[in-house]
Structure 1
Amino acid sequence: MVIKTEGTPDGSSGNPFNQTTVIIITADRGIDQRIRAAAQSAGYSDNITNTQVLPSVMLNMGLGNTSDTFASFIRPALFNDTQAGENYINNTPATVFRITPNNTTELDPYDYPELRVRGTGQTEFDLMDDLEELRIAILNKYNESNVTELPVSMWVPVGSDALQRGINALGPDNDAAYLWTANQTMFSPTPPFYNTSLYYPFLRDPAITLGNDTGEFIIVYGVNHVASGKATYSNFAIYGADVWNGVGAITDEDFNGSAEEYLPDNPNAKYLYVYKLARNCSEGDQYCYEVPYGVGVHGLELDQPLFIGFRIYLENTTKTGPSYSEIVYDRAIKFDPKN
């Protein structure tokens, strides 16, 4: 939406996909200017060059043991051309240089960049009654099962919050809202698999597993945030809670239209979704994901605790993540056979 590329020079409207671009990640204006000049001399126009600012006022810059480390993530999804997507993943057409000046230069650090503000004042809360109707329809359909409704809360802290509290936000960007099936009273300050000084609220014992009994499954449901206009892309993914191995993601393209069979007479069903997670999906069940096991971290073992994470990316109006105060949280219900 905002990137400068040969297809969207200076961030103008156009096609940014499969286009050449330059991204400079730096804390210093002088370094940015020198890299831009070098890029131009190599034939890269300034109108395709982007600067991602590292705000040194909040970060520990340097090369010492107490200095911060940085990572930049590229997360492509929903390839129109499957083969092109595989080629991109296997042969990423990008080059990354780490640039260090040969001589000491006078620092000219960037200020904290102006943020694109979340929120429009428009919410999804008018769909709450429809969502409750959907919940009742789900419970009625599976009324011969034991029911556990999973709590859902904010997953990843806002970046500035995490930086100020010194906790690991696993990618503190503003481009999405993140939710997960977790209970705030069950948090532990340190993930057992982190042998570092970084801290992150972790679900100690979610006590949710997924066996292979035909009557044991999870129903994930909620507002389709893309259909409601609060996102351009959303998904949910199932994870192992002990090592955080994500084994499958279901996107809004997968679950679009899935609530209409539950609410055939409700015109707002098009704004909702329902999806099943099971070890064995019934033949012809379009809205069901078979969760694998016996394949190491590519699956979840039958006794492995799990959680579900939700990602809600980019509201068109604001070009940043939606406001948590304007979205209806996604939901999940665990069903087990009655003894």
Structure 2
Amino acid sequence: MIRSRLRRRSSVLGLVSVIVAAPLAMAAAAPATPSSGASSESPAPVGGHRFSQADTGRQVARFKRQLAGSGYVSQSGTEGVFDLNGRYCDGTVFSGMWPNPQSPYILTGLPEVPGQAPNTNPPRTWRLRQDEAVVLIGTTPPPEEYFGVDLTRLKGSLHTGPVVWTSVVDPVNNKTVRTTGAKPYGRPFALVITGNRRTRDEVNRMLAASGLGRGTNNMTIPPAMYRLGLGEHSDEFLIGIRTISAKPGFEKALDDYRAAPPIEAFRVRPRGDSEDQTKPVYGPDPLPVPRLRVSGTGATELDLNPTLQQLRRRIIDAHPAYKAEDLVVRRGFEESNPGLQENLLTDPPLTGVAALSNDADDPISRNFRLPDGSFVVAYGTNHVATRQASYSSIAMYAGPRAAVSLTAKDNRELRGSARDFISDRKDADQFYAWTFSRAGDAGPTGQHVTELPSAGTDFCAQYGTDRPVDMSTIRAVARAYMQPATLTRPAFSSLLLDRLLVFTPR
């Protein structure tokens, strides 16, 4: 069953994923073409709801005129979904690196500056002249549990690995984004990325003159931590947008947003007298390292531990014909700032940082064997129900090296599942228990059971390739995004860690 669902999903992603021209030349899907008319909204019914997506055509046209009149050079970029499962199977990336199947990543592609040192992963990673800026203009996604624009620094080749992949600053998310309206969804916004104060101020003024002053967001690449420039020793960066769990009735609107992201990307820089565009025009005017949002409120889930222990016992007692092995997820991904300083590699099974968002805790299990005839029960607190997160999930991955995603269940799907075992507990709905099975009809059945593909499945066949994936080896990632009270990741020490019970026949 899950294999057929993966095949259907891959056919959809195939239409919107990035087309690969060569192993290292990852071309993006074409950007949406904005209307040149006035900013307007076109309500359309979506699953019983009406979603209005603003049009930024007028603001984009004005911004282009502002650039020309201010003596700036611009180059246009692209936006498109990057499916790490598919790109692993076609040989583009050395590993899937545990992607979230509920959040296909929208990546920005940018052209190179004539004469610069070639980028390692064009057009996805890019270098930035110290007086340049990257500008996104578009509309925010439809209503969903979480969206975030992440700026990351990537060192190394995605094709061969290993990589050091760290977040540069806090994301702009659905609770912090500035738009031209009162709501964060479906509204015009602009994003400016630079390390130069003068450039930022000038680009901000141009955006304000284009009608985007209230909707302008700034992200800093701090020169104190990163090497700006266009030479071979300068750092390379990447912009990714996570869009997770559309609110009920907006599922199609989110699919449409991902298929044709309504965002235009530009790299802009002051025009100089020299024909050599790699040389800065403005002198250094470094922006400081931004303040980070502080995680944690002091409240924890730890008082729920007695119920967690009872849930464990009830799950084991429900399967007397099987032997149970305990696994606990652990901090597998380091936070970005320590990871950057330690130069921590992501080289599966080594996790390193792996583009962990500053808005997330992603504890991970060790790799474990799950042969046919066995099953695993994931259980723990529903971090949304305990107010530690705005979105949480449990996901299963295959292959210690491939690290491709098989399936995931989010907090809404997990809600109420622990009642299968602890319906007599008043706090039952603050927990979940979900089974991922290879035991077929001989194993657990019911609405809280997901059938995994067998250990002998050819995973990449759905993408038309035969790249190997060790399907007998499984790993779990438990995600917790954006605590409502702090608008950043929950404090790791405040969580009861998600757990696994691996059941094999006696």
Q: Settle same-fold status: TM greater than 0.5.
A: yes
Q: 1:147 to 1:69 in 2, by over 3 A?
A: same
Partner of 1:69: 236
Q: 1:279 to 1:298 in 2, by over 3 A?
A: farther
Q: Is it true that 1:60 corresponds to 2:227 in the alignment?
A: yes
Contact preservation (8 Å) 2:190, 2:212: no
Partner of 2:360: 176
- Provide the C-alpha distance between the structure 1 equivalents of 2:475 and 2:379, rounded to a whole number of angstroms: 15
- Provide the C-alpha distance between the structure 2 equivalents of 1:85 and 1:301, rounded to a whole number of angstroms: 30
Runs (5+) with no aligned partner, structure 1: 9-14, 183-205
TM-score, with length taken from structure 2? 0.57
Contact preservation (8 Å) 1:246, 1:298: no
Q: 1:153 to 1:298 in 2, by over 3 A?
A: farther
Within the candidate set 370, 380, 393, 1:210 is matched to: 370
- Residue pairs, 1:114-129, within 5 angstroms: 114-129=291-306
Task: Tell me the SS of whatever aligns to 1:128.
Answer: helix
Contact preservation (8 Å) 1:58, 1:163: no
CA deviation after TM superposition for structure 1 residue 101, in Å = 2.9
- Provide the C-alpha distance between the structure 2 equivalents of 1:221 and 1:172, rounded to a whole number of angstroms: 23
Cα deviation digits, residues 36-79 of structure 1 (max 9, x gap): 122233x2321100001112211122222222211122111212
Contact preservation (8 Å) 2:194, 2:220: yes
TM-score, with length taken from structure 1? 0.84
Q: Is it true that 1:135 corresponds to 2:312 in the alignment?
A: yes
CA deviation after TM superposition for structure 1 residue 269, in Å = 0.8
How many positions carry a matched residue from both structures? 305
Q: 1:271 to 1:97 in 2, by over 3 A?
A: same
Within the candidate set 241, 247, 268, 2:406 is matched to: 247
One-letter amino acid matched to 1:209 = R
Contact preservation (8 Å) 1:281, 1:289: no
Runs (5+) with no aligned partner, structure 2: 1-174, 273-280, 346-352
- Residue pairs, 1:104-115, within 5 angstroms: 104-115=281-292
Which has a greater percent of strand? 2
- Provide the C-alpha distance between the structure 2 equivalents of 1:172 and 1:263, rounded to a whole number of angstroms: 33
CA deviation after TM superposition for structure 1 residue 297, in Å = 7.7
- Provide the C-alpha distance between the structure 2 equivalents of 1:298 and 1:252, rounded to a whole number of angstroms: 28
CA deviation after TM superposition for structure 1 residue 301, in Å = 6.1
Task: Tell me the SS of whatever aligns to 1:285.
Answer: coil
Within the candidate set 264, 289, 297, 1:95 is matched to: 264
Q: Is it true that 1:236 corresponds to 2:394 in the alignment?
A: yes
Within the candidate set 134, 138, 149, 2:326 is matched to: 149
Contact preservation (8 Å) 1:278, 1:289: yes
Partner of 1:166: 343
- Provide the C-alpha distance between the structure 1 equivalents of 2:301 and 2:317, rounded to a whole number of angstroms: 25
- Provide the C-alpha distance between the structure 2 equivalents of 1:53 and 1:311, rounded to a whole number of angstroms: 26
Of the structure 1 ranges 119-128 and 160-169, higher mean CA displacement relative to structure 2 is found in 160-169
Cα deviation digits, residues 253-293 of structure 1 (max 9, x gap): 11011111211211011111000111366697111222234
Cα deviation digits, residues 89-127 of structure 1 (max 9, x gap): 211111111223323102221111111111111110000
Partner of 1:195: none
CA deviation after TM superposition for structure 1 residue 178, in Å = 1.3
Contact preservation (8 Å) 1:209, 1:304: yes
Identical aligned pairs, as a percentage? 27
Partner of 2:480: 312
- Residue pairs, 1:72-87, within 5 angstroms: 72-79=239-246, 80=248, 81-87=250-256
- Provide the C-alpha distance between the structure 2 equivalents of 1:154 and 1:256, rounded to a whole number of angstroms: 24
- Provide the C-alpha distance between the structure 2 equivalents of 1:246 and 1:297, rounded to a whole number of angstroms: 15
One-letter amino acid matched to 2:450 = Y
- Provide the C-alpha distance between the structure 2 equivalents of 1:96 and 1:33, rounded to a whole number of angstroms: 18
- Provide the C-alpha distance between the structure 1 equivalents of 2:184 and 2:451, rounded to a whole number of angstroms: 35
Contact preservation (8 Å) 1:7, 1:17: no
Task: Tell me the SS of whatever aligns to 1:68.
Answer: coil
Contact preservation (8 Å) 1:227, 1:270: yes
Task: Tell me the SS of whatever aligns to 2:211.
Answer: coil
Q: Is it true that 1:276 corresponds to 2:444 in the alignment?
A: no
**TM-align CA RMSD:** 2.1
Q: Is it true that 1:3 corresponds to 2:164 in the alignment?
A: no
- Provide the C-alpha distance between the structure 1 equivalents of 2:474 and 2:462, rounded to a whole number of angstroms: 13
Within the candidate set 207, 217, 220, 1:39 is matched to: 207
One-letter amino acid matched to 1:97 = F
Contact preservation (8 Å) 1:5, 1:48: yes
Partner of 2:502: 334
